[in-house]
Structure 1
Amino acid sequence: EFIEVAEVPEELLGNSARVVRRGAEKLGLHGQPLRRNARHCKGSGVCCFGCPTEAKRSANVTWVPAAVKAGARLFAGSKADRIELGKQHVVHAGALQLEADAVVVSAGTLHTPSLLWRSGVRHPALGRNVSIHPACKASALFDEEIRGWEGVPQGFGIHDLHGEGILFEGIFTPPEFGAFALPFVGAKLTQVMEQYAQMAAFGFLIEDRSVGVLRLDTSRPQLFYELGKPEMEKLRRGVDMLARIFFAAGAREVFAPVAGFESLRSLADIEGLRTARLSPAMFELSAFHPLGSCRASRDPSRGVVDQQLEAHDAQRLFVVDGSVFPSSLAVNPQLTIMAFAQRAARHVHARLSGAPRA
């Protein structure tokens, strides 16, 4: 209730999602509007630039003001350089030095381990076990006008392949973003962009079992990640299914994010994609929801933090973000992170009240 989660109403779904729904239904797939923390959304369609109406109940308009109202002090623009660990922790942030009985680090999967490294933590699991939810998208050209930039860009999902580790969700970007997301240059790009009002787009993410590692002894953390064959086959399967959905909906051309298969014009072209020898480098990929670089484990040799999210190597040092998850979730981790945060908050309160470590 606090972040006002609600299903996207039909009038804001957008024609790109409706086209995908039409194709999915013809193939016997089951899609549904997504639930979002934007109950009062007006369908501006510019989510990628930030919500212009504050309808999206992100942390800056919900949790942060609530924390300040409850007595929290906010140091905007400050960067935590390191934490001096001891009986009384000291957070060094530029000219600031803040003493604390307990410190909660929530800098995310890439930067939390980097801060801990600068603070002297040398746990063998620190910066390892990183999953990233590799993602792909495809777009398609139709004879009908779609105007996909109108409505909610990510308001519809298809979950039939979730058991295979593939989750389909809508994605449509305004033309200024869409132009460089297409696999074309020159005259072909111009030709396609002139028909942008007739395009639909959709995407998917996959559950990855491959894991990456962060290099932490640099000015900024560097992630090294190699996509495995199981993940590549999920990507192939996802692109294959998206193309079939678009053709079932009436597309005359599908633009696939795979080198050598950028333009698909028939089901026969899809069969070529299905049987081709592919490598990970042939996919145009993005990644979302990095997780796992400070994984939790009851075993001190395996996890950076324990099951209460308190660091094994330091008293009253907590990590509360996606970095504590031991494996890929295959879904957006927002609610899971919030649930972990609530649980951790109770434990932090207990520890500050004198309770022994569990």
Structure 2
Amino acid sequence: MNRSYPAEVDVIIVGSGPAGAAYARVLSERAPDARIALFEVGPTVTDPPGAHVRNIADPTRRADAQRRSEGPRGGSAATVDSPGAVKSGERRGRPGTFLLEDGFAADGEDGLPVAAMSSNVGGMSAHWTGACPRPNESERIDFVDDLDELLGEADRLLGVTTDAFEGAPFSDLVRERLAATADAGREPHARVQRMPLAVHRRADGALVWSGSDVVFGAETRSNANFTLFDESLVTAVIVEEGRTTGVRVSDRRSGEEHEVRARVVVVGADALRTPQLLWASGIRPDALGRYLNDQTQVVYATRILDAAAEPGDGAPPAAGISATSGVTWIPYTDAKPFHGQVMQLDASPIPLAEDDPVVPGSIVGLGLFCAKDLRREDRIEFSDEHLDGYGLPAPRIRYTLTTRDHEVLEQARAEIVRLAAAVGEPLGEHPFTLPLGASLHYQGTTRMGVTDDGESVCDPWSEVWGTQGLYVAGNGVIPTSTACNPTLTSVALAVRGARRIAESL
């Protein structure tokens, strides 16, 4: 950490989420002599910087870290804290996030009423569930021929495992019952299986959740040429004669403005704020902000009626994911265009049952994320008339579910009822569709493409069309309609871009 802003570096990274951290890590490994400055608008809320808040044992300190992540207004009370708040459809964000103040839905459109962001070192990776499934079938990017190798590298950087919850109560039973009803006709790789998670278990048995700290790794932290600047708002990317030459950045502690020169700039804020910064900088490719892709989410809960407490159980389920959790994955297929994330109650980020006590692991929450029918009309717009809490052009959402989207939703509702009945006794008369934006998996707004035809923002290595030395990173780069959690894919694409930068340096 340093507050002495440099006049010039080789590479500037904007945003400290997993994609920005991946650029820092790969460059530290492959171009160790390159001077790198990373600017993050939010504060450092964990030690080490970028760590997951779940790793904070003290609940008061953890709540404070979440509050400090909630944007320029800081500490909104409008967070989800009960099943009732979620199911009533109230416009609330999850702890550690903040909502768009307005502009989340245009008249006559569906919008994204609970679209949310985080501002802190580590970005959303300080608050996420850690699910890292691989894309399947049409989710995959067919013009990235080394995608599997890149996904493997993303697994390494994120510290992905599948055995952290081995032996969790009833998890084998849940997978067995799901497989019996869901696996027919699926290829082996697309059958019910353990969810790949960015989490590992220490020798003492404690769970450690990956945030950007794991992606940074010792390689970045020990790199004397890398510096992380928190509470630093990048207000513009500077472009001269078709090439980026640096950024303008405001120190949010002192209010001082700085200009930092660089050979390469990587903008990896998030799928809402990366196009915001490009637009504010006058960098406006035709596809900027377009093809906005959220994943509509259907949830349901079921109880394993024949469950009995297993030896050693006795404590009630812990809040959040704990040693009694099990997380199961039902991969996306084109025939069933949704991705299943099945979490025993103590693993669910959204409470699904209110009765207590329950046998640990016996309440199972099922969630299906639906792939979006991609449309150029679904987009983020900006104008100088509306400013956000940071003083930048505020995002205005234009977003509508198509007839096809509603058909997929109906298919998902029927499927989740079938799956819930296979596992146990469903809780409630019908599944619940979360408010749009609840997935936090926004994509497509700086999408990758093969040619500069107005339908993409960057090339297959994430360099912005028409602006040399400017790269974009994060979920917004993903060009396909996905249902699976996007972080692993966005880190894989970041690895590809970072390797290209390392070669150029």
For normalisation by structure 1, the TM-score amounts to 0.74
Match of residue 299 from structure 1? 452
Deviation for aligned residue 1:210: 3.6
CA shift in 2, pair 1:160/1:64, >3 Å: closer
Match of residue 187 from structure 1? none
Q: Distance in 2 between matches of 1:255 and 1:12?
A: 31
Are 1:325 and 2:478 matched, yes or no? yes
Match of residue 261 from structure 1? none
1:244 alignment partner, SS class: helix
Match of residue 245 from structure 2? 89
Between the two proteins, the alignment pairs up a number of residues equal to 310
Are 1:5 and 2:160 matched, yes or no? yes
Q: Distance in 1 between matches of 2:476 and 2:426?
A: 43
CA shift in 2, pair 1:10/1:75, >3 Å: closer
Which of residues 405, 419, 437 in structure 2 aligns to 1:231? 405
Unaligned runs of 5+ in 2: 1-155, 184-190, 251-255, 310-315, 389-393
Q: Distance in 1 between matches of 2:348 and 2:370?
A: 27
Asked if the contact 1:127/1:216 (under 8 Å) is kept, the reply is no
Q: Distance in 2 between matches of 1:154 and 1:117?
A: 43
Deviation for aligned residue 1:330: 3.0
Q: Distance in 1 between matches of 2:332 and 2:503?
A: 43
Q: Distance in 2 between matches of 1:199 and 1:323?
A: 34
Deviation for aligned residue 1:135: 1.6
Match of residue 166 from structure 1? 338
Which of residues 355, 370, 375 in structure 2 aligns to 1:206? 370
Q: Distance in 1 between matches of 2:203 and 2:296?
A: 30
Asked if the contact 1:8/1:34 (under 8 Å) is kept, the reply is no
Are 1:110 and 2:272 matched, yes or no? yes
For normalisation by structure 2, the TM-score amounts to 0.54
CA shift in 2, pair 1:62/1:10, >3 Å: closer
Q: Distance in 1 between matches of 2:342 and 2:202?
A: 16
Q: Distance in 1 between matches of 2:260 and 2:328?
A: 45
CA shift in 2, pair 1:242/1:77, >3 Å: same
Deviation for aligned residue 1:291: 1.1
Deviation for aligned residue 1:36: 1.9
Asked if the contact 1:243/1:254 (under 8 Å) is kept, the reply is no
CA shift in 2, pair 1:240/1:91, >3 Å: same
Paired residues for 1:114-129 under 5 Å: 114-129=276-291
Which stretch of structure 1 is more off in the superposition, 101-110 or 58-67? 58-67
Q: Distance in 2 between matches of 1:113 and 1:252?
A: 42
Match of residue 213 from structure 2? 60
Q: Distance in 2 between matches of 1:302 and 1:160?
A: 25
Deviations 1:265-321 (A, max 9, x none): xxxxxxxxxxxxxxxxx7655324211111223124332222332222322111122
CA shift in 2, pair 1:81/1:13, >3 Å: farther
Match of residue 132 from structure 1? 294
CA shift in 2, pair 1:253/1:317, >3 Å: closer
Are 1:20 and 2:207 matched, yes or no? no
Are 1:215 and 2:381 matched, yes or no? yes
Asked if the contact 1:90/1:97 (under 8 Å) is kept, the reply is yes
Are 1:31 and 2:192 matched, yes or no? yes
1:204 alignment partner, SS class: strand
Match of residue 76 from structure 1? 230
Richer in helix (by share): 1
Match of residue 245 from structure 1? 419
Asked if the contact 2:299/2:434 (under 8 Å) is kept, the reply is no
CA shift in 2, pair 1:88/1:210, >3 Å: closer
Match of residue 263 from structure 1? none
- 2:430 is matched by which residue type in structure 1? A
CA shift in 2, pair 1:213/1:14, >3 Å: farther
Which stretch of structure 1 is more off in the superposition, 103-112 or 216-225? 216-225
Match of residue 185 from structure 1? none
Q: Distance in 2 between matches of 1:244 and 1:300?
A: 43
> Could you say what the CA RMSD is over the residues aligned between the two structures, in angstroms?
3.2
Match of residue 256 from structure 1? 430
Asked if the contact 1:13/1:33 (under 8 Å) is kept, the reply is no
Sequence identity percentage: 21
Deviation for aligned residue 1:177: 6.5
Match of residue 334 from structure 1? 487
Deviation for aligned residue 1:350: 3.8
- 2:248 is matched by which residue type in structure 1? H
Match of residue 193 from structure 1? 355
CA shift in 2, pair 1:25/1:102, >3 Å: closer
Asked if the contact 2:246/2:264 (under 8 Å) is kept, the reply is no
Unaligned runs of 5+ in 1: 45-52, 183-191, 259-281, 353-358
